[in-house]
Structure 1
Amino acid sequence: MYYLGLDIGSSSIKAALVEEATGRSLGVVQEPKQEMGMYAQKNGWAEQNPEDWWIHCCNAIKRIKKEYHISKTQIKVIGISYQMHGLVVVDHNGVPLRKSIIWCDSRAVNIGNRAFEDLGEEKCASQLLNSPANFTASKLKWVKDNEPNTYQNIYKFMLPGDYIAYKFSNTINTTLSGLSEGILWNFKENDIANMLLDYYGIDRALVPDITETFGVQSVVDKKGEKESGIASGTPIYYRAGDQPNNAVSLNVFNPGEVAATGGTSGVFYAITDNLSVKENARVNNFAHVNHHREKETRIGKLLCINGAGIQYRWLLNNLAVNSYDEMNLMASEVRVGSDGVCLIPFGNGAERMLNNKELGTRIVNVNLNNHHKGHLCRAALEGIAFSFVYGMEILKSDGIQAKVIRAGNDNLFRSEIFATTVATLIDQEIEIYNTTGAIGAARAAGLHNGDLESFGKSIMNNDHVMTFLPLKDKSPYQKAYKNWKYELELILNNV
């Protein structure tokens, strides 16, 4: 028997099958094979049709069943991971009233900033743990202000994962963790964030019912069976946003445990049991999947670095090289510190951890007689690693003491230079696991029984690849980081 995991991304939908008995991944498929498109009517806007997500989910399920010879009755439960912060609004028939305003859409930035100023930093920090910023609540306020006819016809709003669960089951609900990622949860009052809803003039009746993150959230109905190929009566046992789910995939649940991602952008997602917040603008704070309003506090502190893997990809596309392996080889032939060359890797828009400043990418201290492509490659890997170290310093100032860091075996963490640089400067081992969001969602569907110990052993037994250890001789890394940080602060002081 198998668990099905779905990962609803903005570029594709992934489906994974995991063996119920062992937790071993059978396989993963992606739909569509090319990236999904986005609608951008204006600069800074990003929308997708929620129905497209559902169509690709159904196609992915059909493919994975066929490729692995699985019948619908062999799939026992469903887990869902999804792109965070998106907004889906539906009418009384559950039909979307407009395209989804997704995570990277920035139209509501000014709305959130104004709310933060009017409500006050202390109130937002103590109750919401965040600035309202450009999250789901602020996007819903944008619809209210700019599309009043649409707003008047809204029955419920949903997050992307809520909508997929609804399509399976004809049941509309959400989770506490999901509401917190939309800045719709008041941690002080342990209730929906009426303070923000009242400020925005949003009717509380639009908020879906709240269900547990683990447990029977809904079950597939006859219509869901016909469209998806999953047997009616199959329960949905789990739902979480992509970053909390990535942490679940890496067995990150407890204070001091940190999940790291090194893709196009980079992320540290660190768990704490403390509701005290110093950084409510540079760091976001969400209820983790095992947060419980009465039993225990589990907050995921999310620090995002926009300028991460996209920098290295840019070099791949613009240097006369054939592969990342070639770049890594050239970089490995250059000494730590890249012989003085520094790359400031913030060329992917505003950086939240730099107070939303747009620095661009800067390459400094290049000597045209002595430096070559290898120096650029090493400086890029080091510069991105240094930005992770800089981010960890911010998290430490916000009360995080990392005891373990776990990362997926993808993109930047495949580079020994990158991973060793981070491990050495943070002075912390980095455990690497071969897992994905869809696999994590499938496994998490089995966590309704609360057996975290067996869950963790399953990940260790099936997925552990290697562990990067901090080097004993830290001095060349510390010198290089000091030089990089000096260059960064020169720029920050003049922007």
Structure 2
Amino acid sequence: MCYVLGIDLGTSGVKVLAVRQDGKVVAEATREYPLLQPYPGYNEQNPEDWVQQTYLAIEEVIQKTGIDAAHIQGISYSGQMHGLVLLDDKGNVIRNAILWNDTRTSQECKNIEETLGEELYEIAKNPALEGFTLPKLLWVKNHEPDHYSRATTFLLPKDYLRYRMTCKLQMDFSDAAGTLLLDVVNKQWSLTICEALGISIDLCPELVESHHCVGNITEEVAKRCGLSSSTQVFAGGADNACGAIGAGVLSSGKTLCSIGTSGVMLSYEEHDERQYNGAVHYFNHGKQDAFYVMGVTLAAGYSLSWFKDTFAADATYESLLAQINKVPAGSNGLLFTPYIVGERTPHGDSTIRGSFIGMDASHTFNHFIRAVVEGVTFSLREALDILRESNHEINHIYSIGGGAKNDNWLQIQANIFDASIQKLENEHGPSLGAAILASYGVGWFPTLEDSVNMFVMYGETFYPQLDQVEQYERFYRSFKRIYSDTKAVNEEIKTYRDNCN
């Protein structure tokens, strides 16, 4: 029997998945690495940590299964989007990677918008936000000119990991779309954007399709990990594109809700027909010549992990979520906005901060847990509304990530979204999508859809409950007011905080 590996390079750790040709997941391994936060708003990682932890995870998977390395035919990748890795002319990393959740680039974003105006939306299809790669590149140019002058290419996180395993420099379209440097529809680096901002287009690597074979594992890496140098390596895709593939979102009308560290509401699109004007993200899919639109809540699962670590460090997520059904829908009027690291959709605001609104002496610990869950889901509903208002008919949503591991939360999603919510029987998120790309790349299946049909198994469906749908509508109207009503206060607080620092 033959195998492929799907590698998902996430924000907190790397996950390696081994999948057999008949679609069975035979093993997985996860390794964590640290997040570096030298200053407020800074989020970095050492790319060497990604590499070494991935090698250890691959070794663990092989040891668990006893797979003959010669039978691992392909490897592909999924990765955290937007992170900036700069390489010098010898292929060495110049500085730590600046991650998607880093917020130091507000001025650079303002400069991009002022310089390009509507042309940015016409070409890159997305606004200039702190999370994207181009503002980070400009920040290094402005604040670390010595580092910038040494750079000969930039990569995104999973592309650097793949480079280390193959010595090949490429980037796939789905991840390149999140840089703000790609002409998304024409699938080429934008000379217009580069020239307007004084960025050399030579820094941009070769572009390839997600299922493209970029080469083979090097002899050195093969020996280090227990692999074979005959193993083919495929480009892979952005984590959200791979998450969509891993959930079977490959045709019009298919929609995905993913609640991990961040949260995503994503819907498939084949053509550049609708005009979103930056209200949601518009990216190339991991499926060739397809696109997807996506709204993002920056602190989705992270809001829950922040709450747990701060107020119930010894509790498990399972024990916390088991309590939320003891509290009625709407948490007795307690609302939470998950803006604890700023927000992406629909506000695009790095200054806004989270709130608990409506607290009174009747609220217990369990009310706060449910309010966090509901607040994250309300925030994703705002992205869903934008898609529906743009003529996406969305009545059925696939749910993956941490939010799909608890039936209570799945039912809350069904009620707040007013849509049926279906979980996956074998939910492995972006790592499964990466494995599917590898299986298609090595030729196991004639189409990506055929590979999905073999690999993806769907589970239970949760349906909206009319009485709770109506109740949530009332609380949702109040939730939507909180951003505008607290925006000025948060801007004032940021000024005070910055002066203290």
Q: Residues 355, 79 of structure 1: CA spacing in aligned structure 2 closer, same or farther, 3 A cutoff? A: closer
Match of 1:44 in 2: 41
Residue 384 of structure 2 is aligned with which of 386, 392, 398? 392
Q: For residues 395-417 of structure 1, what are the alpha-carbon distances to aligned partners after superposition, in whole Å with 9 as ceiling and x for unaligned?
A: 33345332542122x42233334
Q: Which residue of 1 aligns with 2:496?
A: none
Alignment of 1:336-375 (within 5 A): 336-356=329-349, 358-368=351-361, 370-375=362-367
Read off the aligned partner of 1:45 and give its amino acid letter: Y
Matched, 1:299 2:291: yes
- Pick closer, same or farther for the CA change 1:323–1:206 going to 2, 3 Å: closer
Q: Counterpart in 1 of 2:4?
A: 3
Q: Is 2:404 aligned against 1:413?
A: yes
Taking the aligned partners of 2:38 and 2:374, their CA distance within structure 1 comes to 37
The CA distance in 1 between the partners of 2:123 and 2:220, in whole Å, is 40
SS of the residue 1:354 aligns to: coil
Per the alignment, in what secondary structure is the counterpart of residue 346 of structure 2? helix
Aligned CA distance change for structure 1 residues 175 and 263 (closer, same or farther; 3 Å): closer
* CA separation of 1:85 and 1:345: change in aligned 2, threshold 3 A: closer
CA distance 1:403–1:417, change in 2 (3 Å): same
Question: 162-171 vs 413-422, which deviates more?
Answer: 413-422
**Aligned length, in residue pairs:** 481
Letter in 2 for 1:342: L
SS at match of 1:458: helix
Shift of 1:194: 0.8
Q: TM-score, normalised by structure 1?
A: 0.89
Q: Which amino acid aligns with 1:168?
A: M
Offset of 1:24 from its aligned partner? 1.0
1:243 corresponding residue in structure 2: 240
The 5-angstrom pairing of residues 208-223 of structure 1 reads 208-223=205-220
Q: 1:238 to 1:367 in 2, by over 3 A?
A: same
For residue 197 of structure 1, report the CA deviation from its aligned partner.
Answer: 0.7
Any stretches of 5+ residues in structure 1 without a counterpart? 293-297
2:338 partner SS: strand
Counterpart Cα distance in 1 of 2:149 and 2:484: 48
Secondary structure in 1 aligned to 2:202?
helix
- Counterpart AA for 2:19: V
User: For the structure 1 residues 204 and 123, does the alpha-carbon distance in structure 2 shift closer, same or farther, using more than 3 Å as the test?
Assistant: same
Pairwise CA RMSD: 2.6
Q: For 1:114-161, what per-residue CA distance to the aligned partner results, in whole angstroms no more than 9, with x for missing partners?
A: 1112211x2111111012333222222223333333333323221122
TM-superposed deviation, 1:238:
3.8
Q: Which residue of 1 aligns with 2:150?
A: 153
Alpha-carbon contact 1:405-1:431 (below 8 Å) kept: yes
Which of 183, 186, 198 aligns to 2:183? It is 186
**Counterpart of 1:124 in structure 2: which amino acid?**
L
Q: Indicate the percent of aligned positions where both proteins have the same amino acid.
A: 25
Q: Cα 1:421–1:71, aligned 2, differ >3 Å: closer, same or farther? A: same
Residue 202 to residue 430, structure 1, CA distance change in 2 (3 Å): same
Query: In terms of mean alpha carbon deviation, does 236-245 or 100-109 score higher?
Result: 100-109
TM score, norm. by length of structure 2: 0.88
Offset at 1:319? 5.5
For 2:497, the equivalent position in structure 1 comes to none
Number of the residue aligned with 1:295: none
Q: Secondary structure at the match of 2:222?
A: helix
| d(CA) in 2 for partners of 1:154, 1:324 | 43
The match for 2:86 among 89, 92, 101 is: 89
Select the residue among 64, 67, 77 that pairs with 1:67.
Answer: 64
Deviations for 1:391-439, whole angstroms, at most 9, x for unmatched residues?
211233345332542122x422333343223223433221111223223
Cα–Cα, structure 1 residues 394 and 50, in superposed 2: closer, same or farther, change >3 Å?
same
- 1:356 offset after TM fit, Å? 0.5
Q: Per the alignment, do residues 419 and 47 of structure 1 end up closer, same or farther by CA in structure 2, a change over 3 Å counting?
A: same
- State how far apart, in whole Å, the 1-side matches of 2:313 and 2:73 are: 50
CA contact (8 A) 1:337 1:476 kept: yes
Q: Which residue of 2 aligns with 1:383?
A: 375
Distance 2:435 2:129 in 1: 31
